[in-house]
Amino acid sequence: MTSSNGTRPLDGIRVADFSWFGAGPIAGRTLADFGAEVIRIESEARVDGLRLGQPQKPGKSGYNVCAYFNNFNADKRSFLLNMSAEGSRDVALRLIERSDIFLSNLTPRIFERWGLTYEELCEVKPDIIAAYQPMQGLWGPHRDFLGFGAVLTPTTGISHLSGDPERRPVGVGTNYPDYAINPGHTVIAILAALRHRRRTGQGQRIELAQIESVAATMGPALMDYTVNGVNQDRKGNQSSWMSPHGIYRSADDPSGRERWIAIAVRDDAEWESLCAVAEGSSFASHDRFATLLGRRRHEDELNQAISAWTASFDAASLAIHLQSVGVPAALVQDAEDMCEHDDHLAERGFYAYLDHPETGISLYDGPIVKLHGTPGYLASPAPLFGEDTFEVATDVLGYTAEEVAELTASGVLG
């Protein structure tokens, strides 16, 4: 869906995206969804590892076919600039001078070495909005530590709380902070800085220390420790205020694929609704389960009884039935379910299918929010490696074709 005149709220905003892998590119992708021109800085000297990652379409290889990279970088332009080459800083500053936003998730020592600190950017673009996303922040004893979401989840305590109590920490199974928390906080900060600049004419430096962005999600566990002296541990799927609260095995689908259903009961009224649906089951009439305290006290027994009940049901149908009587429940979906069978996501048109030159028609996440008047949309698939170098150098930076050739021959562009 597009607005009636095709405009998007960030039309006219240019982003010099010096980030890589996840948190930075996803923030840039969100800005691109809503109209910003995002110029992704890349280099043959140090290719973004996601360009070589998985998954890749069978039979395809190279820099342009990783689904992760392509999803995170749709609607951007790829500009090859080797920051290790003499003269590259001048090109970088020329781009920043013509941009509204500078974005980087590299460690401080990298952009300090490149001469791209906020103070140096302000010399060529006084009202620049410079968003830095180093994992540990711009200062502190660990400021140059390396890592990704898989490092942040244990560092911030998420892994300690994830998994079954009798087993080792397992984390969340993905680089969760990269996909949601860090880019989301960064985009909000950039929008706030844009509003401030519109009102005052002043730019800002944004420091998004990824460790602090993620630690901010740990409030309940931190409060339990500081107020009660309780250092929470892994609880599996247990909740301190809901019971039952778990994932329960249901009947396999016709192909033999195992299926599971999530059920969460928040109060006694929902419990009574669940019991009405499960009339005749071993748990529906037991007085010991009639209150939250009783359900929590006998939770292992309750979970076993619910598992025995759900085992004969189709998970999707049972979830819909429970929802119809006010009990929160859902099929535990996998990628096939979400792409092929989720009629809700399909009806809302969340996924976009774009024609990429090397991977063909491929699935992309759509914009993560919907604005009624100026909705975001994807205008183009991810760029091929270096696809826009010449056009950015000439149209945006104002170099002549001869100057581009010289910069390429000297190793600055490329």
Cβ contact 276:322 at 8 Å: no
How far apart are the C-alpha atoms of 180 and 249, rounded to whole Å? 29
How far apart are the C-alpha atoms of 383 and 40, rounded to whole Å? 9
* Residue keyed to tokens 């280099």: 43
Residue 151 has pLDDT above 60, yes or no: yes
Cβ contact 378:45 at 8 Å: no
Cβ contact 309:249 at 8 Å: no
Residue range 142-164: average pLDDT?
Answer: 92
How far apart are the C-alpha atoms of 351 and 348, rounded to whole Å? 9
Residue 57 has pLDDT above 90, yes or no: no
Q: Report which secondary-structure segment, H or E, holds 70.
A: helix 67-72
Residue 299, phi then psi, degrees to nearest 5: -65, -40
Residue range 103-111: average pLDDT?
Answer: 96
* Residue keyed to tokens 């930075």: 24
pLDDT category at 231 given cuts 50, 70, 90 is very high
pLDDT category at 171 given cuts 50, 70, 90 is confident
Q: Looking at residue 6, what is its pLDDT?
A: 77
pLDDT 10s digits, 290-300: 999 999 999 99
Residue 172 has pLDDT above 90, yes or no: no
User: What are the structural domains, with CATH classification, of the chain?
Assistant: 14-217+350-409 (3.40.50.10540), 245-332 (3.30.1540.10)
Report, as residue numbers or ranges, the catalytic residues: 178
Strand 259-264 and strand 329-331: the pairing is antiparallel
Strand 245-250 and strand 259-264: the pairing is antiparallel
Q: Report which secondary-structure segment, H or E, holds 114.
A: helix 108-114
Short-list 127, 148, 137, CA closest to 207: 137
Residue range 130-154: average pLDDT?
Answer: 93
Residue 207 has pLDDT above 80, yes or no: yes
pLDDT 10s digits, 352-363: 999 999 999 999
How far apart are the C-alpha atoms of 161 and 152, rounded to whole Å? 13
Look over the chain and give the mean of its residue pLDDT values, rounded to a whole number.
95
Q: Looking at residue 173, what is its pLDDT?
A: 84
How far apart are the C-alpha atoms of 8 and 143, rounded to whole Å? 37
pTM of the model: 0.93
How far apart are the C-alpha atoms of 72 and 49, rounded to whole Å? 13
Residue 250 has pLDDT above 50, yes or no: yes
Number of neighbours of residue 179 by Cβ within 10 angstroms: 16
3-state SS track over 203-227: CEEEECCHHHHHHHHHHHHHHHHHH
Q: Looking at residue 397, what is its pLDDT?
A: 98
Bridge partners of residue 360, in order along the sequence: 356
pLDDT 10s digits, 84-106: 999 999 999 999 999 999 999 99
Residue range 162-166: average pLDDT?
Answer: 92
How far apart are the C-alpha atoms of 323 and 331, rounded to whole Å? 11
Residue 395 has pLDDT above 50, yes or no: yes
Residue range 240-269: average pLDDT?
Answer: 96
pLDDT category at 5 given cuts 50, 70, 90 is low
Tell me the three state secondary structure of residue 345.
helix
Q: Looking at residue 339, what is its pLDDT?
A: 94
CA angle centred on 43, ends 395 and 184, rounded to 5°: 85
Cβ contact 414:82 at 8 Å: yes
Backbone CA torsion sign across 134, 140, 146, 149 = negative
Short-list 183, 180, 110, CA closest to 145: 110
Short-list 45, 46, 43, 16, CA closest to 31: 16
pLDDT 10s digits, 301-323: 999 999 999 999 999 999 999 99
214 contacts: CB under 8 Å, gap ≥ 6: 152, 153, 156, 158, 177, 181, 182
DSSP code of residue 353: E
Short-list 263, 232, 235, CA closest to 248: 263
Q: Looking at residue 168, what is its pLDDT?
A: 94
Least confident of 38-42, 92-96, 132-136, 174-178: 174-178
Residue range 235-255: average pLDDT?
Answer: 95
Residue 174 has pLDDT above 90, yes or no: no
pLDDT 10s digits, 265-275: 999 999 999 99
